[in-house]
Amino acid sequence: MATRRNWTAVFYMSFYWTGIVMVLACLALILVCNTDLFYRFEHTRFPLSWMVAIMAVLAFLAAELCHPVDTPTSKTDDEDAELIQNWEAIEV
């Protein structure tokens, strides 16, 4: 179970940072494509910045699907371990 949580956390962070990078790339493309040099390479019906923005949204959605969820059993396990330690201290 711990291995699955580790992989979930890895996928979450990779998708999250991919989304962040895509948002920054989208903003950079918007600024760069406003120049005459790069404007001629831009597609008129579906701009490259839109495509990068859609990929950023998909990356953030994938990160939400892979978001590691803390189970309530982990909190009770910690409380049980604390109670066992307290009980052993009382017996000694």
The string of DSSP codes covering 4-48 is HHHHHHHHHHHHHHHHHHHHHHHHHHHHHTTSHHHHTTS-SSS-H
Q: What is the mean pLDDT of the chain?
A: 78
What's the confidence (pLDDT) of residue 45? 83
**Mean pLDDT in residue range 20-36:** 89
**pLDDT surpassing 60 at residue 82:** yes
What's the confidence (pLDDT) of residue 21? 94
Q: Which domain, by its residues, includes 43?
A: 2-91
What's the confidence (pLDDT) of residue 9? 80
Whole-structure pTM over 0.85, yes or no? no
Three-state DSSP class for residue 43: coil
pLDDT band for 27, please (50, 70, 90 cuts): very high
Write the DSSP symbol of residue 69.
Answer: -
Greatest Cα-to-Cα distance within the chain, rounded to the nearest angstrom: 81
Total domains present in the chain? 1
